[in-house]
Amino acid sequence: MRWLDWAVVVAYLVWVVWDGLRASKKTNELDGYLRAGRSLPWWVVGLSVMATQLSAITLVGTTGQGYNDGLRFVQFYFGLPIAMIILSLTLVPFFYRSGVFTAYEYLERRFDLKTRTLASMAFLMQRGLSCGVIIAAPALVLSIVLGWNLTNTVLLIGVPTVIYTVLGGVQAVAWTDVKQMAIIVGGVLAAVIVLLTQLPDGVTTTAALTVAGAAGKMKAIDFSFKMSETYTFWSGIIGGLFLSLSYFGCDQSQVQRYLTAKSVDEGRHSLLMSAFVKIPLQVLILMMGVLVFVFFLFHRAPLLFNPADSAKVMASDKAGEYQALQQEYDQKAMARNVAATNFARAASGADTERRAARDAFVAADADVKSVRSRALGLVKGVFGDVKRTDVNYIFPTFILTYLPMGLVGLLIAAIFAAAMSSIAAELNALATATVIDFYRRHLKPQATDNQTLLASKLATASWGVFTCVVAVYAANLGSLIEVVNEFGSYFYGSLLGVFILALGFKRSNGHGAFFGLLGGLATVAVVAQWNGPDRVHMSFLWYNVIGAVAVAFIGSIVSVVTGGNSRNQIAAGQIGEKA
């Protein structure tokens, strides 16, 4: 990066942190620190909801996903609009009127303390792991930019973010999210414009997308019903629905967002904003990944996008084999370049010519993929890591190698700001659940608001340390956008199942909810353990459905056996009367 890029990064980060802290109010009070005093307008909450999701993982991982798989990842979000409408009509007014700080407080009122504690613990486990993955994404970018090892770059991002979160509270986080979204969308649009202007002479945008389509990048919908496939219409509409219901309805990081709204209606509007904006925005980011793929058809791409992996292989006993692959790759990539150019220019020609050019390109692209696959196999062998991939390095390599000065800084700033804002939101939610569900409920029930506020800040710092440790190990687990959703899928469905029991089964009791949640988590763990190519091969999206159904089934049976809801007859709607 050059001086102007660094100036853009530093100026933006200083501005966003200063402005976020300036916008915070009453962060010396518990309610202001954890719920912003219920003072935020719907559009700020809506942007905050989206920004908590749209982290650096989205820019780095989703763009890499678009490069590798095209638009098919968008099916992952097909259940999102349906989930947002359901939640707007049910849980948003439910939680808002209850006066709770966390979603899991209600579970004690409806069931008992052990159910609340277990549910909150499940949230803390999965969200702590996921937050580590969120830190890993920009740390990868910094490791390339600065040439530092991953541990140092994780600390460079994690330490200031923890400090900022401790000082700012949820209100500062929310207002920072507004700036983050503006910078991210602006950066993505700028990158797309650059990609389109870098097409070779004589290759139109339509022709370039036709070439991408021949490589399978433009296929957005797959109606086949295969539980082994993660991205199909059915896995998205069913598994994605359950995941979205769980994430936005039972995950404290999202519940806390709409608890900061001024009213129930404004909380609803914030979710509906995500329902109708998220998918178009996701398509735009995936399309950017597709355009990066097209760009590297006409410009030289490295054999491996992670330079550290290449260096380690070259220092191993596989160096000779890797050099031979590099030479083969150079030849195959040149042949693909010629084939792509010929196909793009023949796209509007006669059918015979177009089909011949297309077949030549498809064959050339398959040859390049084969060489890259063998190179990645060498990397996996050297590192002893079967999941290792370079998908997370594709977009950073494009940014740092080909974008003009100034725009590099803008996109790097967008990635870092996205990460810091998302991390801040996650840490704030982790601290809230820790303090409200454990410290003030178990350790010190008589704690004053000032004591609880101090405990919140200490919890934020502790979770910051934990997530930084996770980030060091998460960077090489595969596509980060998949990793973070896979982590969540181990827990989300079971958490959703508990709330289904609470709201939909009046006869369910604390014993049923507790053992149902344990049974759901155990069921998902068993399915995941037996899931694999040689066994029952199933996409992680279906874990959300399995977990929810298992909890509802087991919980209902245990409730009937133990005498039904005799302890607590709080009906689903009565909790709202507490406020």
Instruction: Please give the C-alpha separations between residue 223 and each of 72, 220, 226, in angstroms, as whole numbers.
Output: 11, 10, 9
Contact (Cβ atoms closer than 8 angstroms) between residue 273 and residue 43 = yes
- pLDDT confidence of residue 24: 58
CATH topology for 3-298+397-578 is Sodium/glucose cotransporter (1.20.1730)
Instruction: Please give the C-alpha separations between residue 496 and each of 251, 351, 401, 434, 551, in angstroms, as whole numbers.
Output: 9, 53, 44, 20, 9
- Residue pLDDT tens, the chain, 579 long: 788 888 888 887 787 777 666 765 556 667 777 766 677 888 888 887 777 767 677 777 788 888 988 898 888 888 889 998 998 888 888 888 878 888 898 889 889 999 999 999 989 988 888 888 888 877 877 777 677 888 888 888 888 778 777 776 677 777 777 777 888 888 888 888 888 888 888 788 888 899 999 998 998 888 888 777 778 898 889 888 888 888 888 888 888 877 888 888 888 888 888 778 888 888 888 999 999 999 999 988 899 888 878 888 888 888 899 999 999 999 999 999 999 999 988 877 778 888 899 999 999 999 999 999 999 888 888 877 666 777 778 888 888 888 888 888 888 887 777 777 778 888 888 999 999 999 999 989 888 888 888 898 899 889 999 988 888 877 666 555 566 667 778 888 899 999 999 888 888 999 999 999 999 999 998 888 876 555 556 777 788 889 999 999 999 999 999 887 644 444 434 433 333
Count CB atoms within 10 A of the CB of residue 469: 15
Domain residue spans in the chain?
A: 3-298+397-578, 311-385
Instruction: Give pTM, 2 decimals.
Output: 0.79
- For 263, the 3-state DSSP assignment is coil
Count CB atoms within 10 A of the CB of residue 241: 20
- E strands within 32-109? none
Supply the DSSP string of 191-218, one letter for each residue.
HHHHHHHTSPTT--HHHHHHHHHHTT-S
Question: Which two tokens mark 306?
Answer: 């992670």
Give dist(CA 419, CA 396) in Å, integer.
Answer: 14
Question: Which two tokens mark 458?
Answer: 């200490």
Q: Which residue has the tokens 């490295």?
A: 302
Give dist(CA 499, CA 103) in Å, integer.
Answer: 10
- Amino acid at residue number 495: L
Give dist(CA 381, CA 389) in Å, integer.
Answer: 12
CA nearest neighbour of 43 among 244, 181, 245, 164: 181
**Residue 261 β-bridge partners:** 40
Nearest 5 degrees, angle CA 382-CA 385-CA 391?
100
